[in-house]
Amino acid sequence: MRTAYYCPQVNNAERVNRVIVTCIRTLLDGDHREWDEKLPAITAAINAARHEATGVSPHEANFGRNLLLHTDLYMQQHLNTPEDSKVAQDMRLSTIRRIQKLIIERIKNNHQRAKQRYNLRARSVTFKIGHLVWRRSFILSSKADKINRKLEPKFVPAIVKEIIGTNLYVLEDVLNGKKGRYHAKDIKPD
């Protein structure tokens, strides 16, 4: 696995989960036990929503047209396919290819903009195997263990054991010997 602990930036599922939880929170009135009944409506809303990075909805990206709702059917008569199934298939495929090219171009542009913004704050730090470093502590509060997260140290000493890529390091804690993968943003030099 090449994912750092506590680094949601590299896990796309975390971003999707954030959207879903926001939608659930918005649709719930009083009874929180009914959240699962809202999932079909949330799924339709997410599939029909225009994505900022791609400029199209997920449904349009996959099927070459916007998601049709029950209320839209009478307004969408022009979407009826031609009698010849081959012509209809060719039309749909050419639309999907055009949308895919558009999506790829927009993603590249968004990536460049995000890279420029990120690099304004990024620090260039490299650590070598065997170096003593300080890694961010991710201890959670626990009443049973009598631990208050706010009172725990923010960083704990660790030794670099392995380098995976440019920002991912395997560290071994000095205090308890536990190993883990950590992103460079959570590591400070000694």
Alpha-carbon span 108 to 130, nearest angstrom: 38
pLDDT digits (tens, 9 = 90+) for 25-58: 888 877 788 888 889 989 999 999 998 888 899 9
Name the stretches of the chain with pLDDT < 70: 1-2, 70-84
Q: What's the pLDDT score for residue 72?
A: 61
Instruction: Specify whether the CB–CB gap between 19 and 46 falls below 8 A.
Output: yes
Measuring CA to CA, which residue among 184, 181, 189 is closest to residue 1?
181
Pairing of strands 168-173, 179-183: antiparallel
CATH number of this structure's domain 132-189: 2.30.30
Measuring CA to CA, which residue among 58, 36, 39 is closest to residue 47?
58
Q: What's the pLDDT score for residue 89?
A: 79
Domain-wise residue ranges, the chain: 8-121, 132-189
Q: What's the pLDDT score for residue 142?
A: 84
